[in-house]
């Protein structure tokens, strides 16, 4: 029949009237009484809109009108923006329904007017939103008048139509009436929105339209995170992320590219919001302590409620899937509709309509779900920023005693920052699940009951009853993880100690003892990891097996109770529901556990909030005295006072020196004056200087603005503290840069030669606590910082302890006496160098925590002759220096190879990981996985055959044999049921095997990788540790090992499972409806590009997140370590600002990463929805040709629904695995490190038991270097040392003294010549034997955590008497006896509970314990006061009278009594003789050293 707008003529048959045919275009009964004309009238507004808007859109009129520089297409400023988008989308949906209703009710397909207006309405609505978007971004509101007219016209025409329906009694029972009523409401609302825009913006009918400014964020081009500012469609689909994600493929994403955060998301904004909420509680109810939970709810509760709403909507829409499957499979046979008006239920019985509805429901569900995720993540990040700022503020005010007494350790601070705040953030992410999941479960169970009756409840009860077991497993997992964490922390602590003291361990041949200790802890950790793997396997097993068990129980029960089997539609709708139900039940346990954890974390955060803070100091107006302490008793937190009865004064503008023995409280006195100690009684007074006194002479007026704060003290701590920044930034420390002053400070501290050696001069980044600088360099930078600051008072705590004689003198003369005195600054200097006392204006002598004497040197000379004489004897000798030996190193020695960031999936590394786990485990995993998924498909396929057989009553062999025999129900059941039960049982068993195989494959890979890594590192040559940063090695043992242990196995499991699920689903759909394969090609192409772009961008953003997190953690630990310095300088505000910047940078990276994840998920979810639509469409189309049965269609649709869930997991897991495999790659790069040659050419049995007996050393033509690639550090050295001789080696820095000491232990590459000890060439000896028979004391004191006994004798071979004897020789016996536990007293990490001097003495005792006939002292008496050093020198001479002692010295007075002196220069021996003989050569080098020393 010909197609026409109003269709053919209508013939009416009636009893009273004879058959009467009416022309379809007739208007005899009035124009508006012709339904076709009314429909034509409805076309007018749509045509009007298209006619007007298309030219405007094409010409692009108005796009140049905005003059403000903004992110162009994100400027949202028309009122009612979001409402307009929501209404337009609703309008589009209703138009689709109207179109569907028109098509379905038009049986003959010749009445165009039934669906044509709907089609045009759809196009017009789409055009309206495109048009609106363009006008809005170009800020040309006058053009909105067109839309206003359109809404008015559309409203009028639709109202006429509705009025006519009412007149003809067409009521709500007809679908078309409902649709028309909905359209009238929507047009009315859109009209109201448009009127509101006119009211607010006044663009027509008003004379003075207001000027509109874009939001502040958008005027700042640095803000690139546009989610809050883009239109609703872009918000929902993350369209604004496209340029970033696609661009990442060409150029890596850098920090510059992601810009700044919008103001509302910055840490400071959120901190203030949280703080206000906290303070409000205090104001409202002063009696009750404020609750941090309530504060969090008040500050961040609203977005969580919004997110929960989205979540509820998504969950409810999730049930559309099973319901539509039910409808489609049920109504596959109904085709006939023969009326113009149809009821709503009749439309819902049309399979094509149901397929489209299913598609739309999926799209909406996924959009709401992703919106919910995004809102919670953004809120979580905001909360984390607020908490970090809160914790940091607290740390800045922490009293030092909290740190020193261990109430708050660096580890705890790192935990707070890295773990506690992140856990709270994660809790917020999971929050909506807490209340959405129970609703989802209840709804699911109700629907199941509706489908299958009582048997469904039995099946659901299986899931519900197993939920507590899952919760139990989840709790066990958490506990196991906790114990694993404890063991791994312990292992890491031991590994850190080994790496910090690796030189000592190698020299003492103790590396295997310590290695075994780490392996023992690793063993415990692995046992814990085994339990962890087992519980994880059970958890994964339950997650995959529960749906199978539930389906099995349901259908068996249905068969037993109802004696009938469900129809295909019910069976597969139920199957889809079971899949939906498992997720909330599985996750609920995790969410509940997280909620409990969050409560615990909050207690941690709150406990940090309740720690002691510093009290303010008093101020007074003494002008002659800068600081005065009156009757002071101070403590570090215990009730015992560390300093007692302190009465001192620091005169203004003078040099005050504080002296005394090791551990007498000199540093504590400085800290007490700075207000860092707790005052038991007494007061500290600081003078308030009048402003005019703060003005300085000469070139320093530049600093006037900085001088107002009387409390700013330039302080150089005893333990040098540096920032992770450049040398220049460390010295200027936030003060304005003045070239002249900077140069003067650099010269005063003799830093220029050191700066010249650095690769980028003073712009070199020094980091990891200044690890790439020597002790002396670090100390001088700290002193330079104190000198550079233009403060009135300078505190220097033992600035000479790490400097040699020349540097000390230079610093004293140029820096302290000249630079500071010229500045008329008040200086307080703590020192052991008594020869500088003559320069002091005021001296404070201390002993055992109290002041022994105070006054000028003359006063003390007059009043305390004994003390003065004691000083005088010591003054003639120079104090120590421990400037580190700086061997000549090449600049370009750098192990860290830059990896190509744009790498493909690292298949080689994956294979390396899998093969580490063992080939059998790999085979078992692959085989069981494939088998499991085949069985799962078989179960569902069998169910399809079973349910279909009931409707068709044919045997399953129909497809094979053509014999069609009708079977009875019983025969069918006896055939289908046992097979179904067997398949389900096999499926459940295989689930267990696969989950176990993956986890234990991961465990065995982790075991072998860590074992190999530890052995490689510990046996690596010392050069490896010189050129590889400690942090880099530690990262392999901490972060990377943790990833290999705990993260790769679940990712691998999830990846293989989701990939196989997707492949099996696509396979099933294709086999049922081959037509689906046609649509699969474009879908596969789209999927390929989405994952390709996402993986690259995700990796970049993941790297950015990791790289921005590290500086944040470093800043927290730096602040905690340098609290005293920061507070002394009064630089808290600057450090706070830096923390806020670092937090915002990290949060930006994290937000972009999560937005990229949402970008991916939205796209894969929409692809999944398209797959469902095509699968449904293909099934309906195929049915016309009688291809699949109803059961198989249900099977196909159920599988299509699972694809939507798993597609994004494939990509996410692939991206995660790629990132995680980089950990394996890093570990693998260290596994190729060459080990030292431990074997030697001699066998251990050939070496005499008591070798070396005499201690005779012959050095013959010795040439040595640190690495075959480097220049030699020793060149043709020849020497002969007789048994028992005392030899001194001296020379300038870098002359090769320490290298020679290392050559005795074969620690350097001896490529020519040899060293013969007691007749044996040391290069032939096994390293273990050689190093265990010699003794050395290093210049850096190294102690390990454990007991004093363990530190002296880790091999446990010595008797107590021998240990006490060693302690007595080292002047430590009395001190150790006083400790609780005596020789078994505790030594904390790094020996922090002893002073530096005491640590050095323990190292001496350790060397005495090993009774070797050769004893090497490499700057052994550093950090010891002169009195103790003198005693030690005597002891060494007497206790080692019969041993060969080689002393390496910077201070030549310590070797004047030696039998032989060797003077070295640039790796050669320059002078070699008895000291007396060398002194006679007036122009000799040794003589010049001695002269400088006197």
Query: Do 1460 and 1259 contact (CB within 8 A), yes or no?
Result: no
How many C-beta atoms lie closer than 10 Å to residue 92's C-beta?
A: 16
Say what the pLDDT of residue 155 is: 93
Of 400-414, 1314-1328, 1470-1484, give the lowest mean pLDDT range. 400-414
**Above 50 in pLDDT, residue 877?**
no
Cα–Cα distance for residue pair 370/381, rounded to 1 Å = 16
pLDDT reported for residue 585: 67
User: Do 1326 and 1347 form a contact (C-beta atoms < 8 A)?
Assistant: no
Residue 1340, helix vs strand vs coil: coil
Q: What is the pLDDT of residues 683-695, one digit of tens each?
A: 888 776 544 333 3
pLDDT of residue 494: 82
More confident residue, 1488 or 904: 1488
**Could you tell me which residues are beta bridge partners of residue 635?**
678
- Residue 1301 and residue 1298: Cα distance in Å, rounded? 5
Asked, as a colleague might, if the bond just before 1252 is cis with ω within 30 of 0, I would say yes
Output the pLDDT for position 65: 44
Q: Which of 796, 785, 777, 782 is nearest to 882 (CA)?
A: 777
| Average pLDDT over every residue of 235-261 | 87
Helix and strand numbers, DSSP H then E, in the chain: 50, 26
User: In this predicted model, which residue has the larger pLDDT, 905 or 350?
Assistant: 350
Please report the sign of the dihedral spanned by the C-alpha atoms of residue 1154, residue 1159, residue 1160, residue 1165. positive
Mean pLDDT in residue range 16-41 = 62
CA–CA separation, 1399 and 1422 (whole Å)? 10
pLDDT score at 961: 37
**207 phi, psi to nearest 5 deg:** -85, -40
pLDDT tens-digit profile of 775-814?
A: 778 888 888 988 888 888 888 888 887 777 777 888 888 8
- pLDDT of 1177 above 80: yes
Cβ 1188 vs Cβ 1182: under 8 Å: yes
pLDDT of residue 157: 92
pLDDT one-digit tens code per residue, 665-682: 888 888 888 877 778 888
Q: What is the rounded CA–CA span in Å between residue 531 and residue 480?
A: 7
Least confident of 337-341, 1084-1088, 1145-1149, 1246-1250: 337-341
**Per-residue pLDDT for 403 more than 70?**
no
Indicate the DSSP class of residue 248.
T
| Structural Rg of the chain based on CA atoms | 41
Tokens of 834: 């008594």
Q: Are strands 20-22 and 10-12 parallel, antiparallel or unpaired?
A: antiparallel
Output the CA torsion 1476→1477→1482→1485 (10° steps). Answer: -90
Q: Which of 77-86, 393-402, 660-669, 786-795 has the lowest mean pLDDT?
A: 393-402
pLDDT value for 952: 52
Instruction: For residue 886, count other CB atoms closer than 10 A to its CB.
Output: 15
Highest mean pLDDT among 613-622, 968-977, 1339-1348: 1339-1348
What's the confidence (pLDDT) of residue 901? 44
> What is the predicted pLDDT for the residue at 154?
93
Task: Give the whole-angstrom CA distance, residue 1155 versus residue 744.
Answer: 51
Helix (H) or strand (E) holding 1387, with range, is: strand 1386-1387
Whose tokens are 């275009």? That residue is: 25
1164, 1203 Cβ separation under 8 angstroms = no
pLDDT digit string, tens, across residues 105-155: 776 556 777 788 888 999 999 999 888 888 887 777 888 888 999 999 999
Average pLDDT on 604-610 reads: 65
Residue 197 has pLDDT above 50, yes or no: yes
Q: In what order do the strands lie in the sheet with 625-635?
A: 618-620, 678-687, 625-635, 643-651
Tens of pLDDT, residue by residue over 1187-1204, are 556 667 778 888 888 887
The span from the CA of 808 to the CA of 803, in Å, is 6
Lowest mean pLDDT among 708-712, 882-886, 1158-1162: 882-886
Query: What integer pLDDT is reported at residue 768 of this predicted model?
Result: 55
108: Cβ–Cβ under 8 A, 6 or more apart, which residues? Answer: 1, 7, 8
Segment among 263-272, 1425-1434, 1483-1492 with least mean pLDDT: 1425-1434
**DSSP reduced 3-state for 1167:** helix
What is the reported pLDDT for 31? 64
Q: Tokens standing for 1404? A: 């001496």
Report angle CA 308, 311, 317 to the nearest 5 degrees.
145
What the block records as the tokens of 449 is 């009951």
| Percentage with pLDDT > 90 across the chain | 5
CA-CA distances (angstroms) from residue 1273 to 687, 882, 1359, 1360?
55, 20, 41, 41
Q: Is residue 1395 within 8 Å of 661, Cβ to Cβ?
A: no
130-139, 401-410, 442-451, 833-842: segment of lowest average pLDDT: 401-410
Which H or E run contains 647?
Answer: strand 643-651
Would you give the distance in Å from CA 208 to the centre of its chain? Answer: 53
Query: Which of the residue ranges 328-342, 787-801, 1345-1359 would you say has the lowest mean pLDDT?
Result: 328-342
Instruction: Pick the range with the lowest mean pLDDT from 327-331, 1013-1017, 1258-1262, 1335-1339.
Output: 327-331
Contact 143, 62 (CB under 8 A): yes
Strand partners, 1387: 1346
Evaluate if residue 186 carries a pLDDT over 90. Answer: yes
Residues 6+ apart with CB under 8 A from 5: 36, 40, 112, 113, 116
Residue 1332 has pLDDT above 90, yes or no: no
How far is Cα 766 from Cα 569, in angstroms, rounded to an integer? 69
Alpha-carbon span 229 to 235, nearest angstrom: 8
Choose the weakest-confidence range: 371-385, 1442-1456, 1469-1483. Answer: 1442-1456
Here the tokens at position 232 are 């609703």
Specify the 3-state DSSP secondary structure of 630. Answer: strand
What is the rounded average pLDDT of the residues 1423-1444?
Answer: 72
Q: What is the pLDDT of residue 638?
A: 65
Percent of the chain residues past pLDDT 70, beyond the cut: 83
Please report the pLDDT score of residue 884 as a whole number.
32
- C-alpha torsion angle, residues 1158, 1163, 1165, 1169 (rounded to 10): 160
| Euclidean distance between CA atoms 875 and 833, whole angstroms | 8
Q: How confident is the model at residue 27 (pLDDT cuts 50, 70, 90)?
A: low
Residue 816: pLDDT over 80: yes
- pLDDT for position 770: 47
Out of 1042-1056, 1110-1124, 1415-1429, give the one with best mean pLDDT: 1042-1056
* pLDDT-derived band at 75, boundaries 50, 70, 90: low
The pLDDT of residue 1022: 80
Using CA atoms, how far apart are residues 20 and 79, in angstroms rounded to an integer?
56
Is the CB of residue 1226 less than 8 Å from the CB of residue 600?
A: no
Contact status, residue 642 vs residue 665, Cβ threshold 8 Å: yes
| Predicted pLDDT of residue 125 | 93
Comparing 1239 with 276, the larger pLDDT belongs to: 276
Q: Residue 856 has what pLDDT? A: 86
pLDDT of residue 740: 87
Query: What is the C-alpha separation between 640 and 668, in angstroms, rounded?
Result: 14
pLDDT at 16 over 50: no
This prediction has a pTM of 0.76
SS3 state of residue 856: coil
Helix, strand, or coil (residue 633): strand
> What is the Cα–Cα distance from 229 to 217, expressed in whole angstroms?
9
Bridge partners of 726?
765
78 contacts 153 by C-beta, under 8 angstroms: no
Q: Say how far apart CA 1111 and CA 1118 lie, in whole Å.
A: 10
Q: Are 107 and 337 in contact (CB under 8 A)?
A: yes
- Mean pLDDT for the chain overall: 78
Residue 481 pLDDT = 80
Q: For 531-555, what is each residue's pLDDT tens digit? A: 888 888 888 888 778 878 888 888 8
| pLDDT reported for residue 1024 | 80
Alpha carbon 493 to its chain centroid, in Å, reads 21
* Angle at which helices 145-167 and 116-138 cross, to 10°: 150
373 or 1410, which is more confident? 373
For the chain, the residue count is: 1494
């Amino acid at each position: 029949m010909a197609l026409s707008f109003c269709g053919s003529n209508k013939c009416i048959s009636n009893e009273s009237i004879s058959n009467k045919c009416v022309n379809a275009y007739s208007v005899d009964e009035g124009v508006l009484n012709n339904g076709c004309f009314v429909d034509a009238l409805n076309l007018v507004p749509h045509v009007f809109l298209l006619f007007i808007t298309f030219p405007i859109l094409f010409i692009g009129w108005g796009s140049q009108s905005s003059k403000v520089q903004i992110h162009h297409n994100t400027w949202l400023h028309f009122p009612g923006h979001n409402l307009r988008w929501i209404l337009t989308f609703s309008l589009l949906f209703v138009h689709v329904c109207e179109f569907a209703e028109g098509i379905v009710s038009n049986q003959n397909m010749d009445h165009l007017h039934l669906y044509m207006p709907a089609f045009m309405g759809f196009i017009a609505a789409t055009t309206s939103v495109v048009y609106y978007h363009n006008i809005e971004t170009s800020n040309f509101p006058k053009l909105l008048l067109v839309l206003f007219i359109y809404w008015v016209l559309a409203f009028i025409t639709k109202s006429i139509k509705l009025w006519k329906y009412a007149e003809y009694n067409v009521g709500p029972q007809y679908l078309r009436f409902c649709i028309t009523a909905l359209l009238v409401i929507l047009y009315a609302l859109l009209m109201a929105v448009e009127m509101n825009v006119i009211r607010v913006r006044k663009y027509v009918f008003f004379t003075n339209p207001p000027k509109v400014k874009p939001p502040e964020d958008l005027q700042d081009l640095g803000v690139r995170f546009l989610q809050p500012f883009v239109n609703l469609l872009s918000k929902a689909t993350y369209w604004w992320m496209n340029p970033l994600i696609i661009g990442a493929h060409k150029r890596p994403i850098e920090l510059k590219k992601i810009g700044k955060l919008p103001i509302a998301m910055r840490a400071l904004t959120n901190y203030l919001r949280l703080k206000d909420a906290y303070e409000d509680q205090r104001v409202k109810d002063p009696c009750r302590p404020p609750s941090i939970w309530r504060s969090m709810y008040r500050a961040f509760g609203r977005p969580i409620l919004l997110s929960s709403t989205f979540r509820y909507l998504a969950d409810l829409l999730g049930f559309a899937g099973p319901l539509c499957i039910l409808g489609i499979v049920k109504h596959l046979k109904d085709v006939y509709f023969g009326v113009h008006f149809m009821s709503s239920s009749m439309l819902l019985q049309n399979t094509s309509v149901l397929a489209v509805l299913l598609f739309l429901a999926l799209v909406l569900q996924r959009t709401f779900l992703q919106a919910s995720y995004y809102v919670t993540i953004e809120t979580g990040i905001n909360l984390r920023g607020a908490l970090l700022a809160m914790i940091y503020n607290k740390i800045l005010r922490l009293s030092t005693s909290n740190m020193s007494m261990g109430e708050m350790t660096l580890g705890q601070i790192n935990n707070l920052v890295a773990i506690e705040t992140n856990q709270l953030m994660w809790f917020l992410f999971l929050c909506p699940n807490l209340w959405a999941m129970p609703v989802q479960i209840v709804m699911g169970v109700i629907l199941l009951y509706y489908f299958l009756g009582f048997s469904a409840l039995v099946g659901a009860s299986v899931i519900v009853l197993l939920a507590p077991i899952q919760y139990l497993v989840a709790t066990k997992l958490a506990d196991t993880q906790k114990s694993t964490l404890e063991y791994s922390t312990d292992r890491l602590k031991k590994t850190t100690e080994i790496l910090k003291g690796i030189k000592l361990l190698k020299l003492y041949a103790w590396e295997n003892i310590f290695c075994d200790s780490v392996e023992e802890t690793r063993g415990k950790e692995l046992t814990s990891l085994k339990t962890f793997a087992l519980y994880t396997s059970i958890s994964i097993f339950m997650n995959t097996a529960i749906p199978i068990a539930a389906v099995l129980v349901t259908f068996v029960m249905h068969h037993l109770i109802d004696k009938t089997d469900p129809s295909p539609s019910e069976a597969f709708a139920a199957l889809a529901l079971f899949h939906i139900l498992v997720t909330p039940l599985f996750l609920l346990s995790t969410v509940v556990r997280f909620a409990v954890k969050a409560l615990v974390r909050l207690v941690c955060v709150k406990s940090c909030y309740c720690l002691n803070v510093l009290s303010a100091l008093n101020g007074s107006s003494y002008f002659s005295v800068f600081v005065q302490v009156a009757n002071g008793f101070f403590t570090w937190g215990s009730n015992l006072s560390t300093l007692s009865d302190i009465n001192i004064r620091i005169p203004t503008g003078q040099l005050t020196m504080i002296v005394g023995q090791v551990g007498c409280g000199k540093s504590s006195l400085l800290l007490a004056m700075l207000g860092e100690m707790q005052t038991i009684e007494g007061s500290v007074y600081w003078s308030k200087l009048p402003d005019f006194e703060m003005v300085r002479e000469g070139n320093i007026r530049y600093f006037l603005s900085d001088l107002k704060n009387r409390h700013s003290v330039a302080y150089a701590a005893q333990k040098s503290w540096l920032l992770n920044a450049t040398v220049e930034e460390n010295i200027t420390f936030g003060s304005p840069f003045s070239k002249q002053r900077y140069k003067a400070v650099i010269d005063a501290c003799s830093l220029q030669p050191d700066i010249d050696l650095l690769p980028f001069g003073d712009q070199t980044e020094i980091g990891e606590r200044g690890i790439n600088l020597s002790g002396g360099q670090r100390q001088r930078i700290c002193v330079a910082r104190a000198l550079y600051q233009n403060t009135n008072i300078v505190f220097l705590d033992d600035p000479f302890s790490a400097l040699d004689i020349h540097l000390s003198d230079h610093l004293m003369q140029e820096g302290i006496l000249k630079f500071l005195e010229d500045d008329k600054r008040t200086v307080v200097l703590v020192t052991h160098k008594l020869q500088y006392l003559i320069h002091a204006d005021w001296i404070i002598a201390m002993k055992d925590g109290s002041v022994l004497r105070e006054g000028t040197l003359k006063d003390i000379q007059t009043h305390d002759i004994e003390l003065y004489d004691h000083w005088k004897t010591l003054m003639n000798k120079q104090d120590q220096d421990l400037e580190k030996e700086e061997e000549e190193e090449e600049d370009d020695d750098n192990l860290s190879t830059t990896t190509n960031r744009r790498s493909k999936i690292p298949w080689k590394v994956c294979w390396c990981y899998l093969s580490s786990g063992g080939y059998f485990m790999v085979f078992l995993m692959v085989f069981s996985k494939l088998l499991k998924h085949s069985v799962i498909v078989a179960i569902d396929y069998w169910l399809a055959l079973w349910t279909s057989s009931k409707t068709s009553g044919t045997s399953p062999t129909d497809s094979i044999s053509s014999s069609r025999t009708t079977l009875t129900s019983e025969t069918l059941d006896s055939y289908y049921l046992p097979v179904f039960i067997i398949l389900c049982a096999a499926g459940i068993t295989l689930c267990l095997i696969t989950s176990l195989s993956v986890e234990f494959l991961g465990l065995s890979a982790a075991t072998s990788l860590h074992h190999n890594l530890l052995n490689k590192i510990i046996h690596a040559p010392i050069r490896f540790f010189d050129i590889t940063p400690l942090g880099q090695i530690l990262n392999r043992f901490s972060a990377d090992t943790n990833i290999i242990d705990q993260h790769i196995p679940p990712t691998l499991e999830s990846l293989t499972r989701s990939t196989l699920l997707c492949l099996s689903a696509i396979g099933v759909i294709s086999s049922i409806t081959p037509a689906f394969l046609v649509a699969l090609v474009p879908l596969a192409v789209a999927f390929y590009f989405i994952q390709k772009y996402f993986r690259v961008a995700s990796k970049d953003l993941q790297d950015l997140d990791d790289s921005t997190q590290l500086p944040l953690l470093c800043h927290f630990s730096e602040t905690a370590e340098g609290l005293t310095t920061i507070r002394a300088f009064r630089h808290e505000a600057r450090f706070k600002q830096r923390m806020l910047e670092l937090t915002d940078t990290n949060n930006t990276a994290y937000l972009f990463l999560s937005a990229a994840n949402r970008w991916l998920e939205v796209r894969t979810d929409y692809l999944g929805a398209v797959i469902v639509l095509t699968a449904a469409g293909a099934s309906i189309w195929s049915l016309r040709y009688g291809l699949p049965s109803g059961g198989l269609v249900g099977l196909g649709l159920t599988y299509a629904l699972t694809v939507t869930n798993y597609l994004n997991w494939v990509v996410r897991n692939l991206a995660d695995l790629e990132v995680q495999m980089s950990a394996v790659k890093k570990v693998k790069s260290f596994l190729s490190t060459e080990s030292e040659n431990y074997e030697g050419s001699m066998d251990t049995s050939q070496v005499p038991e008591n070798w070396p007996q005499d201690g005779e050393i012959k050095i013959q033509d010795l040439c040595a270097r640190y690495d075959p690639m480097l220049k030699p550090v020793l060149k043709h050295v020849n020497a002969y040392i007789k048994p028992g001789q005392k030899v001194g080696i001296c020379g300038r820095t870098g002359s090769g003294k320490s290298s020679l000491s290392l050559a005795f232990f074969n620690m350097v590459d001896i490529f020519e010549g040899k060293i013969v000890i007691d007749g044996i060439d040391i290069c032939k000896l096994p390293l273990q034997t050689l190093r265990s028979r010699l003794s050395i004391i290093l210049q850096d004191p190294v102690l390990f955590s454990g007991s004093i006994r363990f530190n002296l004798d880790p091999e446990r071979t010595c008797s107590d008497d021998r240990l006490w004897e060693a302690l007595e020789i080292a002047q430590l016996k009395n001190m150790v006896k006083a400790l609780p536990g005596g020789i078994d007293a505790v030594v904390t990490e790094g020996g922090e509970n002893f002073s530096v001097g005491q640590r050095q003495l323990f190292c001496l005792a350790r060397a005495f314990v090993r009774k070797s006939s050769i004893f090497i002292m490499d700057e052994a008496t550093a950090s010891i006061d002169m009195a103790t050093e003198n005693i030690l020198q005597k002891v060494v001479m007497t206790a080692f009278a019969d041993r060969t002692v080689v002393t390496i010295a910077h201070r030549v007075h310590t070797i004047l009594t030696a039998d032989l002196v060797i003077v070295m220069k640039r790796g050669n021996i320059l002078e070699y003789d008895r000291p007396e003989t060398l002194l006679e050569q007036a122009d000799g080098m040794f003589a010049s050293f001695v002269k400088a020393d006197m």
